[in-house]
């Protein structure tokens, strides 16, 4: 099996943002069988 390195950027601006991001990363790891999943700290910025 080949291994691919992939970088994703996720964002959330509605409701409980941290929970939304946690649910998204969980869904990715379950549905796409991602292993070695790493996450950077959350970064919050002002809306544009």
User: Which pLDDT tens digits describe the chain residue by residue (48 residues)?
Assistant: 678 888 889 999 889 999 999 999 888 888 887 777 788 898 888 877
In whole angstroms, what is the distance from residue 37 CA to residue 4 CA?
12
Euclidean distance between the first and the last CA atom of the chain, given in angstroms as a whole number: 42
Burial class (CB in 10 A: 0-12, 13-18, 19+), 3: exposed
Contact (Cβ atoms closer than 8 angstroms) between residue 28 and residue 9: no
Write down the pLDDT at residue 33: 74
Question: Coil, strand, or helix at residue 20?
Answer: helix
Say what the pTM is.
Answer: 0.72
């Amino acid at each position: 099996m080949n291994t691919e390195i992939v970088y994703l950027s996720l964002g959330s601006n509605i409701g409980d943002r941290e929970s939304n991001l946690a649910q998204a990363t969980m869904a990715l790891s379950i549905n796409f069988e991602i292993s070695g999943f790493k996450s950077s700290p959350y970064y919050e910025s002002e809306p544009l």
